[in-house]
Amino acid sequence: MKILRRLGLVVVLSLGTFVTAEWQDSSNSLTLTHVNVVDVRAGKIVRDQTVQISNGLIRSVAHGSKASASGRIVDGQGRFLIPGLWDMHVHSALTPIWDEKAIYALYIANGVTGIRDMGGDVDLLIQRRSRIERGEILGPHMVMAGPFLAGGKASNDTIPVKNAEDARQAVDTLVKRGVDFIKILTNLSRESYFAVAEESAQQKITFVGHVPTAVSVAEASNAGQRSIEHLTGVSLACSLQEEEIRQQMLEASAKRDYSASVTLGERMLHTYDAGKAQRLFAELRKNNTWQVPTLVWTKADSSPDDPQILHDDRLKYVPAKVKAGWDPKETLQQTSAELLQLGKEQMQRNVELVRSMHAAGVPFLAGSDGPDPFVYPGFSLHDELEWLVKAGFSPAEALQAATLRPAEFLGKVNRYGTIEPGRAADLVLLDGDPLADIRNTRKISHVIVGGTVYSRAELDRILGQVEELVRNQ
């Protein structure tokens, strides 16, 4: 299966079935006329622009400029052009493994032209990223962590870390294997965590992830953790009983007393202090510690009792064997009513935390945590943008969290995140104004990846072929 991008030909997903990209001109030039460019820096619309693209890069953006004499011309007809979206928290090669021809195509079909893979099989990730870059499969740009650093047993997805020596060795190993950053989970000890921080600083590599229970959010921020996922530890850090609850959590974990989690979780939520929270948020802002709240994941995780969850039309794009493991009946059988209620309260608290942190100037990135159960690759990033707006972001700020801010976080502002000359021609043409209503990011007319343009009809064919591919997987 190959995408010959220089020729604009795409072999997509099912044997013998070809989808042809609209742009096939050998000059590698493309012109978009009469488009309303969304300036994500300023949060405004620049109307009736012509965008000229060649060799995968944006060459000019101007009002009334003439189209190139050669190459493909797409009349935007007053549609809205945004930078390609980034999902900053995904797992595209984590057990259960999705077919590469399905999962990555779903991102492109939804206008997601870049992903930050937050943990999985490093060999598989490197292989898949290379195939995308060579044009052998359709997919987004990728930055990746490889295996998690965590307690527990070794696997393709995890490197066990029991002490400081293990931590330093794990960081060194992953740096040599070519990962872009280090990802940690919640069950690291204090000794291991700070060894990861020190070794990452020495190796000049970013470390991100969960905040371990044994470490406070303030300590993590001061230690240089670049991003915090799922707001881990933030509710605890805002509690007036933070240290007491932390110690009891660690003791309960050591005893495998999981029933204590409900009582401790309720105490944590009910002892929230606004003043303590604001002092923490000021520290996060000062240290430029980014948050990736993955509200769409928290919502899905806390809603196994939602009767509509099994009627989502997007389930048709989930492999059959994966979908079987998503059955909420098993989750409900293993979850007490008290724990279920606590999850819903935590979801509401997370929305409130995002609102307060955003107002305090803490930086945010949009991420979905797909493909966890009922978090759909590509589709759910749009859900996350809607959740950010519900949590107090303007539509422009939510869009920035999936375009400009990822580019800033990754140090790639000169390459991605804006519609400006010299940037990669990764673009999404929308039928509605996303600054008027963030839900309009779903109204995709065309997706452009590296200068190759896919029409709505082609995107629909790609989705149809994903549906067919996963039906028996």
Q: Is the pLDDT of residue 2 over 50?
A: no
Give the model's confidence band at 426: pLDDT under 50 very low, under 70 low, under 90 confident, else very high: very high
Distance (Å, whole) CA 189 – CA 343:
25
Structure letter (DSSP) for residue 65: P
Contact 292, 227 (CB under 8 A): yes
Residue type, 126: I
Per-residue pLDDT at 67: 65
Q: Is the pLDDT of residue 238 over 60?
A: yes
Per-residue pLDDT at 15: 30
Per-residue pLDDT at 70: 73
What percent of the chain shows pLDDT beyond 90? 88
Per-residue pLDDT at 236: 98
Per-residue pLDDT at 258: 82
Per-residue pLDDT at 27: 54
Per-residue pLDDT at 237: 98
Q: Is the pLDDT of residue 360 over 90?
A: yes
Q: What does the pLDDT average to over 336-356? A: 96
Per-residue pLDDT at 64: 78
Task: Return the sign of the alpha-carbon dihedral for residues 94, 100, 102, 103.
Answer: positive
Q: Is the pLDDT of residue 17 over 90?
A: no
CA atoms within 13 A on the CB side of 149: 36
The number of residues in the chain equals 473
pLDDT in tens, 38-61: 999 999 999 999 999 999 999 999
Contact 276, 240 (CB under 8 A): yes
Give the model's confidence band at 153: pLDDT under 50 very low, under 70 low, under 90 confident, else very high: confident
Per-residue pLDDT at 116: 98
pLDDT in tens, 282-296: 999 999 999 999 999
Distance (Å, whole) CA 117 – CA 378:
13
Q: Is the pLDDT of residue 442 over 60?
A: yes
Q: Which residues contact 75 (CB under 8 A, 6 or more apart)?
A: 33, 34
Per-residue pLDDT at 8: 33
Which contacts qualify for 158-165: CB closer than 8 Å, 24 or more apart?
Answer: 161/188, 161/192, 161/196, 162/189, 162/192, 163/189, 163/191, 163/192, 163/195, 164/191, 164/192, 164/194, 164/195, 165/195
Secondary structure (3-state) at 38: strand
pLDDT in tens, 172-182: 999 999 999 99
Distance (Å, whole) CA 436 – CA 225:
35
Q: Is the pLDDT of residue 24 over 60?
A: no
Do 3-83+417-470 and 86-238+273-356+369-378 have matching folds? no
Q: Is the pLDDT of residue 11 over 50?
A: no
Structure letter (DSSP) for residue 252: H
Q: What does the pLDDT average to over 412-441? A: 98
Domain 3-83+417-470 CATH class label: mainly beta
Chain-wide mean pLDDT for the chain?
A: 93
Count of Cβ atoms closer than 10 Å to residue 83 Cβ: 29
Which residue, 235, 141, 129, is CA-closest to 177?
129
Contact 470, 102 (CB under 8 A): yes
DSSP assignment string, 343-395: HHHHHHHHHHHHHHHHHTT--B-----BTSTT--TTHHHHHHHHHHHHTT--H
Q: Where are the domains of the chain?
A: 3-83+417-470, 86-238+273-356+369-378
pLDDT in tens, 178-204: 999 999 999 999 999 999 999 999 999
Per-residue pLDDT at 261: 87
For the chain, give me the number of helices (H) and strands (E)? 17, 20
pLDDT in tens, 64-107: 767 666 789 999 999 999 999 999 999 999 989 999 999 999 99
Distance (Å, whole) CA 18 – CA 8:
11
Which residue, 94, 12, 88, 86, is CA-closest to 371?
94
Per-residue pLDDT at 6: 28
Per-residue pLDDT at 49: 97
Q: Which CATH number, 3.40.10.10, 3.50.50.60, 3.30.420.40, 3.20.20.140, labels domain 86-238+273-356+369-378? A: 3.20.20.140
Structure letter (DSSP) for residue 239: B
